A and B are shown apart, each in its own frame.
Chain A
Amino acid sequence: MHIVVDENDRRPIYQQVVDEIKALIARGELREGTALPPVRQVAADLGVNLNTIATAYRELQREGLIIVRHGAGAVVSSSTAQEKTDDELRKPLRAALTQLVLAGLPRAEIMSVVTDELRGLLKGNR
């Protein structure tokens, strides 16, 4: 099991790490109780600053997906993110759909893009 980081991606590295780990949790590959590797190991592997990975872990902890204990490391604590309001969840989806509409895709194609992405996300073949 691994996460992928792209230097040319517009998202900051810590955000990519957060998104990758979230995807693994969503897919059920990272189950509750699974230990994440120490910050030092991930930072060394990806060749980034320790703080970058520490920030990513803090972000995941803030969302209630992992618990970081001093000395014991990070453990996946839940497979569902902390409660967000309906509107908070819909907002990024709305923004993404707007992009698709503006790109001139017809309604049926947008629907197939959405189901496609969802299937990919849950199965893991991105």
Chain B
Amino acid sequence: MSKTLILLLGFDLLMLAVFMFVPVMRGEDAFFGVRVSPEVYRNEGRRLLHRYWLWLFLIFIQIEVIGLLVSFYKGRTEFAQIAPRFLFLPCVMLFYVIFYRQAKRLELVEEHQRFASSLKTRRLADYTNLALEIAIVILTIAPILVLVYYYPQLPERIPTHWNWKGEPDEWARKSYYAVFSLAAMLVYMQGLILIIKHGLLGVKMTLPAEHAEDYLRLKEAALALTVRFMDWMRLLLCIMLGSLATNIAFSAVEHLRFLSRVVTVAAWAAGLLMFAAIAFAIYRFYRIDRRLKSEVGRVYVQRQRDAAHWYLGGLIYFNREDPALWVEKLVGWGYTCNLGNKWVYAYITLMIGIPLLLVLPLES
């Protein structure tokens, strides 16, 4: 069995686990993205969920078996392994939506709702850790300074890619673009995440009139957690991209080669810490939901009017009437964009379009 096969199998298993968990991760407030009563959730809901799990499992087995059979039959692994993989995610999505439609029939419609709004302004300064920001600024600028200083000493052929041991395995002709693109990407990512962070502080918080203060406190804890998570990710990104960027100089200049090993370790450490940070954030989000359940009784509150604007079982929010740009995810933790807000498209361009423009010329 090849390494890629095991990796892809692992990826599919992860997808399977995520999609098994997603319909129930927020309990009866978002069962397949639909609010149902606790009784329905425990009875019809449970049966619906078990049917859904059975289907997912069958799909998983089928696609894995197809993948394996085609690989053995053709004797060529790459294509045969990857093709069925493209089937898995759409199939799982399809079944999620089919079961969401069934869950929709169980929806609990709340007639009379009262909502609250916090009178506290969320300011960027209150969500900023100054020491961390200083570290980030230094770590963002340092790689650029290193590269500028060593630029004249760099040979005509410079490394652009390294294997896991930190040995160069791809090279490019020396140019400003080849040398500075990683550092530029780092600066760009910092700016981008800051813009997103600033936007997130204006996230819409629909508060129930009852237990408004408790609900608000825990939702603000979730927001603070998200923002802190983004800050640490920014720092780790600095270390990772900065290490790779400086490695251009370190692995090309003879007397700096010992530093190449140091930055390789740093890049690996930062990468691993990112996974640790993700796991930690997930755990903390889970804990906040548990506390919401016990202290407020609700994990997610929204007006009936907004509930109709979630699509694909609560995965996508599109509401032209809603002035909010960022809303809390109905299914899942964290925040998502209101795709009905035209400003979102500026965000998406910033998030995907510009990094692609930066990276594409490097590939060719």
* Chain A contact residues, CB within 8 Å of chain B: 1-8, 21, 24, 30, 35-38, 40-47, 49-50, 73
Contacts and interface: CB of A to CB of B under 8 A. Distances in A.
A44 B219 CA distance: 15
Contacts of A73: 121
Contacts of A35: 121
Given A4-B212, A8-B112, A41-B202, A47 B119 contact: no
B202 A44 contact: yes
Contacts of B116: 2-5, 45
Contact of A47 (B112, B122, B204, B213): B204
Interface in B303-339: 303, 305-306, 322-325
A24 B119 contact: yes
Nearest to B112: A8
A4 B324 contact: no
Given A44-B204, A47-B322, A3 B117 contact: yes
Determine chain A's interface SS by DSSP, over half rule: mixed
Given A36-B119, A37-B119, A45-B204, A4 B323 contact: no
A37 B121 CA distance: 5
A2 B126 CA distance: 19
14 contacts: A1-B118, A1-B120, A2-B116, A2-B216, A4-B115, A7-B303, A30-B119, A40-B202, A40-B323, A44-B323, A45-B116, A45-B117, A45-B205, A73-B121
A49 B324 CA distance: 10
A3 B118 CA distance: 7
A47 to B, nearest CB: 5
A37 B207 CA distance: 15
B221 interface: no
Nearest to A42: B117
A30 B204 CA distance: 22
A30 B120 CA distance: 11
Given A5-B114, A7-B303, A47-B206, 13 more contacts: A2-B212, A3-B116, A5-B117, A7-B115, A35-B121, A38-B121, A38-B202, A40-B202, A44-B202, A44-B203, A45-B204, A46-B115, A50-B323
A47 B303 contact: yes
B113 interface: yes
B207 A2 contact: yes
Interface in B61-119: 112-119
B324 A44 contact: yes
Contacts of B209: 4, 6
Contact of B119 (A3, A6, A40, A49): A3
A45 B322 contact: no
A43 B323 CA distance: 7
A5 to B, nearest CB: 6
Contacts of B325: 44
Nearest to B302: A47
B118 A45 contact: yes
B117 A7 contact: no
B121 A47 contact: no
A44 B114 CA distance: 15
A7 B302 CA distance: 13
A10 to B, nearest CB: 14
A49 to B, nearest CB: 7
Given A1-B120, A2-B216, A44 B322 contact: yes
A111 to B, nearest CB: 30
Interface string B325-357: 100000000000000000000000000000000
Most buried by A among B113, B122, B323: B323
B351 to A, nearest CB: 21
